[in-house]
Structure 1
Amino acid sequence: MLHASDIKKLAADAGFDLCGLTPCRPLAQNEAWFRAWLAEGRHASLGYLERNTDKRFDPQRLVAGARTAVVCAAAYKNPASEGYPDSHRAKVASYACTTDYHTTIREMLAGMLAALQREHPGLEGRAFVDTAPLAEKQLAVEAGLGWIGRQSLLVTPRFGTYVLLGELLLGDEADAYDVPFAGSRCGRCRNCIESCPTGAIVAPRVIDAGRCIACHTIEKEPAAEVDLDGWIFGCDRCQSCCPHNQKAPMQTNPAFAPAFDPLTMTPGQWLAMRQEEFRTRFGATPLTRSGLERLQENIRRNNPEEPYSR
């Protein structure tokens, strides 16, 4: 049997700010909501979300024999998380200002899993970092880390929404599990809904991906055009306005320290950049997901009247 206290110590030693445990079980209500969301076409061009829905909401279908889900969170708030001046037309989501979290968190989880397997020979387990069909936000709620806010993101009491998640699915039971987080602490606040520039939050916890600036700047673009509101990669608008985020502390883990400051970069600097410079300066960040040409196209969409956009 696994010991919850040992797992949480491993998580803290690895650099995670939060860790919770929940038994692996089907999340039937969440699956029903998700299927209804898909049926309404709210996923727009994100066709991959239509696949493996049964696995997404049942960890035991994703990993045979999984008994325990360990949900870990790393805080990443940095100066860009606090928002940009309205005049800034080259905005980058704050999570993308650091080394790609997929790489960082995968290494942190791998170290935890290796330590557990040394202590428990024969233990089966897999690590996940936002790349497999796994309802990680709801698992985080089940593991007691926080609640789902009106912008559909996990909100934690201490770090707000500025957390990055990673999970271990383990093939043994733990001696203790965390109590699921009950209720919401959003109160009457609707800042996230009212602040979204494109109205992508069509109802509490319902996102229309076809209107979402983050999808338009990163993913395969939906058919409809939207005003990018100065964003060239991702969008933090529904986060920077959240009271829980405004009081959240800045991150302290060097692994999540900013690799660059987007507030100091002008549209002209981005447009003048060449591939070699981009690879050197940003090759380890999430910006490579879009690539320089896509970023520059987003710059032009944001600044159509400026001479450097032509």
Structure 2
Amino acid sequence: MLDRQNILKAAADRGFDLCGVVPCRHLAENEARFRNWLSCGYQSSLGYLERNTEKRFDPRLLVESARTAVVCAVAYKNRASGGYAPECRTKVASYAAACDYHTTLRGMLHGLLEELRGANPDLRGRVFVDTAPLAEKQLAVEAGLGWIGRQSLLVTPQYGTFVVLGELLLDQEADSYDTPFAGSRCGTCRRCIEACPTGAILPDRMIDTGRCIACHTIERQPDTPIGLNGWIFGCDTCQNACPWNDRTPQHRNPSFDPLFDPRSMDAAAWRELNEEAFAERFGRTPLMRSGLQRILKNIDDGGPEQP
């Protein structure tokens, strides 16, 4: 049997800012909401979301022997998380200024898994970081880390929305589990809805990805063009509007130190790059997912740079 306190201590020692331990079960209510979202077509170009819905909301189907989910979070807020000048036409989501969090979190989670195996050699488990059908934000709620805000992001009391998530699915039960986060602390606030320049934030914590700037700048582009409002990779607009982010601390894990300052690069600086220079400077960041040509296209689609 897993020792919950040992898991929490080991996660903190590995550099995670938050950690919770939950039993694996079927999240039936969330599955029903997700299926309704799909039926409305709000997934737009993200066709992969239509697959493996049953597994997404029942970790026991994703990993047959799964009994316990360990949900970990790292805060990544940095200088660029505070937003950009209104006239900026080359905005980059602040998480993308650091090393690709998929790589960083996977390394941290594998280290955590090996440490837990040291105390329990029979333990088996798998690492997940945003690349498998797993309802990780809802698992984070179940683990007591926070609630789902109106912008559909996890909001944590300590670090706001500027967190990234990773999970371990383990084949043993724990001696105790965390209590799910109760309710929402958004109150009557609608700042994220009012701030979204394309109206992508819908009622009932839903997102229309066909109108989401992050989807248009990173994912397979939806059919209907939208204004990018100066964003060339991702979008932090709803996060910058959230009052829970106003007084949250800067990140403390050095693995999330920015590798560049996106506020220092205007359109001319991006256009001066060739493929080799781009790879050398941004090869460890999430920007490689889009590539230089996609970023340059986003600059052009975002409109002329303001004087």
CA distance in 1, matches of 2:266, 2:76: 24
Task: Name 1:14's counterpart in structure 2.
Answer: 14
Task: Name 1:212's counterpart in structure 2.
Answer: 212
Contact kept? 1:151, 1:204, Cα under 8 Å: no
Stretches of structure 1 that go unaligned for 5 or more consecutive residues are: none
Task: Name 2:241's counterpart in structure 1.
Answer: 241
SS state at 1:26 partner? coil
SS state at 1:210 partner? helix
Task: Name 1:76's counterpart in structure 2.
Answer: 76
**Shift >2 Å, 4+ stretches:** 303-307
Deviation at 1:202, TM superposition (A): 1.9
CA distance in 2, matches of 1:253, 1:120: 27
Task: Name 1:54's counterpart in structure 2.
Answer: 54
Stretches of structure 2 that go unaligned for 5 or more consecutive residues are: none
Task: Name 1:190's counterpart in structure 2.
Answer: 190
Report the residue type matching 1:9 in the other structure.
K
- Compute the RMSD of aligned alpha carbons: 1.1
Give TM-score, length-normalised by structure 1. Answer: 0.97
Q: Which moved more, 1:281-290 or 1:115-124?
A: 115-124
Contact kept? 2:137, 2:154, Cα under 8 Å: yes
Task: Name 2:160's counterpart in structure 1.
Answer: 160
Contact kept? 2:202, 2:208, Cα under 8 Å: yes
1:97-121 residue CA offsets vs partner (Å, 9 max, x unmatched): 1000000000000001011112111
Residues matched between the structures, number: 307
1:17-74 residue CA offsets vs partner (Å, 9 max, x unmatched): 0000110000000000000100110000000000000000000000011110000000
Does 2:199 align with 1:199? yes
Task: Name 1:232's counterpart in structure 2.
Answer: 232
Give TM-score, length-normalised by structure 2. Answer: 0.98
Aligned-residue sequence identity (percent) comes to 64
1:148-181 residue CA offsets vs partner (Å, 9 max, x unmatched): 0000000000100000000000000111100000
Task: Name 2:267's counterpart in structure 1.
Answer: 267
CA distance in 2, matches of 1:48, 1:31: 16
1:164-202 residue CA offsets vs partner (Å, 9 max, x unmatched): 000000000111100000001111100000000100002
Taking a change above 3 Å as real, the CA distance of residues 302 and 186 of structure 1, as seen in their structure-2 partners, is same
Contact kept? 2:267, 2:305, Cα under 8 Å: no
Contact kept? 1:19, 1:72, Cα under 8 Å: yes
Taking a change above 3 Å as real, the CA distance of residues 293 and 67 of structure 1, as seen in their structure-2 partners, is same
Contact kept? 1:271, 1:299, Cα under 8 Å: no
Task: Name 2:67's counterpart in structure 1.
Answer: 67
